[in-house]
Structure 1
């Protein structure tokens, strides 16, 4: 990943140049430094993590959270945070209602 020297935005490759889509700054690509970069190309998106076989006692502490199940009035949920996407993205929060067992997840967008 390359960041713009002018404005700090992430740059994108266009041919043999890095181009900033925010301010238009361009610089030539350097194959030696790019070889050391980690990319997300070729990585798969495995979708949601299946937590159905995880014992409730292993899910973690509780927090005040309204259950998403419309038939439940639960206001406490166990939660666990996991890094399931790229390292530069925030963790995903998994919740389990302590009243009805409903499970859901939240991501920052």
Structure 2
């Protein structure tokens, strides 16, 4: 994969040139640089990411109305998780009655 130096868009190959479809910038292809690019075959698969579930290991509930239209519960399990790439946490809820999941907004 190669990105345009002019506009940052992904470039496409046309013969022996990289061509940007956004700004029409053209650059010659470098076979040595392309050989060093990592292909999907060279990447490792770490599997599917873990899915947060506020009911796992949580016995604490709090008063929080369920946003599901057909549920009148006002109790939910909750879990605090660090936001990926961020410096703060997000609170995840799971309704005690219907199991609906949502996060604090």
* TM-score using structure 1 length: 0.45
> Rg bigger for which structure?
2
* TM-score using structure 2 length: 0.46
